[in-house]
Structure 1
Amino acid sequence: MNAPDAAILGMGYLGRPLAEKLFEQGSRVAALKRRLTSDDINLPVALDTADLNRVGVFQEAFWQQHWADKPVWICLLPPSALNDYPAVIGGWLALAQQFGVQHIVYAGSISVYGDGERVCDEHSPPQPATAGAVNIMAAEQLLLQSGVPHIDILRLGGLYCAQRHPLTSLLKRSSIAGAHRPVNMLHRGWAVAALYQAACTPGGIRVRNIVEPQHPPKHQFYRAEAAKLGLPEAAFDMADRSGGKTVTTAFDDFTIQAV
């Protein structure tokens, strides 16, 4: 795959490894984050900082200087990062249209399917049940209506890796619900690989679920992860027999395997 020059909105958990992967493959990369940290020094990226909640942020000079010539724009921002998520995504898309961007990759979430007990693929109707999921659905609609010829909406499963694992927060709780619900997880490495593949292979309008194919019960998944990490097991309420969704994909163009 030929790695394109790219601009990344959100230089964090997914943005940093994606930027590094693109750069290693010869891409010129621009990125935007809210504030700099010591880890940002000497990165091979045209890195700018800005508060996207601020009025007039899309008139800043760095958009023209570092973003206008990048053929692929990538959005990795979660709704929690913004006061008015749809409005900011809409302003960002308007700028993309102004610059003639041909390809946008958006990291969404399987939360748009809600929590009801069912099997979901890309043809299943969304049932967003949280404010965050509603905002993601609104952003998806803006993307699909933007007129940009290549749109990739990747609905990512629950993210984890050894350095930042949801087990850490579970260990602070007791009698955790949903012990027998299937998990829909996605290792950060596979998430970055899918985003990179999307950026390198424009293919019109694509909405894809990016989730590992195995869906063990939650208590089983986290027990195995605790053993890998050398941590205690999470305290699940094993009497809770409630079910949940299983997210699959109807497509074979993004191959994800468990790690």
Structure 2
Amino acid sequence: MNLKQISIIGSGWLGTPLAVKLLSQGYTVKSSTTSSNKTAELKKQGLTPYVFTLGNPDKDEVIPDFLNSSDIIIINFPPKRIPNIETVYVNQVSAILPYLNPKQNVLFISSTSVYQNNNNWVKEDMVVAPEKKSGEAVYAVEKLLRDTLKERLTILRFSGLIGYDRLPGRFLANKTNIANGKAPINVIHRDDCIGLINAIIKQNCWGEVINGSTDEHPLREDFYTLAAEKIGLTPPTFLKQENILFKKVCNTKSKTLLNYKYQHPDPLKLIA
């Protein structure tokens, strides 16, 4: 088997351990970062770092070299919460499109924030209506890439990211009168994020939209109360509500299409 060269745009909490994992499997990996301060650490881990900020024309000359000769491009950076978030995010991703060649496949790390609260399951084939600006921005990029890349694109929509130093007990600790305590949560552990990306690459699974989320969806108040208690913080309190808003992210397609078994299927067991 000829191991591929992969370019990963974004060397943050997910992108760096993903790159290290792929490198350990024999892939050649290029990693991008917006900070020159990170290059030494990336090199230390055996990665080839490139420094540029998408949307900054002064650095555009770096992008062709970063993408050149790679079989797979992984777009792995979220939109910043700034004014005109949708326009800025689309412009950033658009900056790489002129440099892609027709043989390259692209994996876009998206988010389940594209789904609306429908008080039911949400699946990949439904018509989505994002309710927040961040979701609108992510969905706008999904549409841009679909229109441009067609079957060379796979979109992987992750639920809320947890694991390692990202401790959910800190998210709502000490807060009061939080809404939707009886709503089910949607999260995914970083190990499973990397596992799903790995499965897509190994199986050459392109032209798909896939959700990534745990099997189980405990109630918000149960999960965040236990998570806070386990790290010694004051648990949040929740409003008593009859009408709640929620969605439950269905991960069935990820398991059937990729034959993937989640390493962390139950969020409560991660903090029990």
CA distance in 2, matches of 1:3, 1:159: 28
Residue deviations 1:169-194 (CA, integer Å, cap 9, x gap):
31142222221111111011111111
Q: Relative to 1, partners in 2 of residues 1:81 and 1:56: Cα closer, same or farther, differing over 3 Å?
A: farther
Task: Provide the residue aligned with 1:78 in structure 2.
Answer: 78
Distance apart, 1:107 and its partner CA: 0.6
TM-score, normalised to structure 1, is 0.89
What per-residue deviation string (whole Å, max 9, x for no partner) do you get for residues 121-161 of structure 1? 11221110111111111111111111354211001011111
> Offset of 1:202 from its aligned partner?
1.8
CA contact (8 A) 1:150 1:204 kept: yes
- Residue in structure 1 matched with residue 184 of structure 2 by the alignment: 182
RMSD: 2.3
Q: How does 1:194-209 map to 2 (within 5 A)?
A: 194-209=196-211
Q: Which range is displaced more, 241-250 or 121-130?
A: 241-250
- Partner Cα distance (1:22, 1:199) in 2: 10
1:182–1:243: 8 Å Cα contact kept in structure 2? Answer: no
Equivalent in the alignment of 2:269? none
**After superposition, what is the alpha-carbon deviation per residue over 1:7-48, rounded to whole angstroms, capped at 9, x for unaligned?**
000000110110000000011100111102364352311101
For 1:1-259, list aligned pairs within 5 A: 4-35=4-35, 36-37=37-38, 39-58=41-60, 60=61, 62-80=62-80, 84-96=88-100, 99-147=101-149, 149-226=151-228, 229-232=230-233, 234-241=235-242, 242-251=244-253, 252-254=256-258, 255-257=260-262, 258=265
Secondary structure at 2:157's aligned position in 1?
strand
- 1:8 aligned counterpart, secondary structure: strand
How many Å apart are 1:49 and its aligned residue? 1.1
**What is the CA–CA distance in structure 2 between the aligned matches of 1:120 and 1:40, rounded to whole Å?**
37
Does the 8 Å CA contact 2:174/2:234 hold for their aligned counterparts?
Answer: no
Query: SS of the counterpart of 2:95?
Result: helix
Where structure 2 has 5 or more consecutive residues not aligned to the other structure, the ranges are 267-272
Bigger mean CA deviation after superposition, 194-203 or 12-21 = 194-203
TM-score by length of structure 2 reads 0.85
The count of corresponding residues between Structure 1 and Structure 2 is: 254
CA distance, structure 2, for counterparts of residue 205 and residue 135 of structure 1 = 21
Q: State how far apart, in whole Å, the 1-side matches of 2:212 and 2:134 are.
A: 18
List runs of 5+ in structure 1 lacking aligned partners.
Answer: none
Is the 1:213–1:256 Cα contact (8 Å) retained in structure 2?
A: no
| Partner Cα distance (2:257, 2:237) in 1 | 36
The letter for the 2-side match of 1:207 is V
Task: Give the 4+ runs in structure 1 shifted more than 4 A.
Answer: none
Cα distance in 1, alignment partners of residues 194 and 81 from structure 2: 20
1:101 & 1:15 partners in 2: Cα distance?
A: 23
Letter in 2 for 1:201: Q
Range moving further from structure 2, 12-21 or 162-171: 162-171
User: Could you say which structure has the greater relative contact order, defined with CA pairs below 8 angstroms and 6 or more residues apart?
Assistant: 1
Q: Residues 256 and 87 from structure 1, CA distance in 2 versus in 1: closer, same or farther, beyond 3 angstroms?
A: farther
Letter in 2 for 1:6: I
Q: Does the 8 A contact of 2:122 with 2:249 survive in 1? A: yes
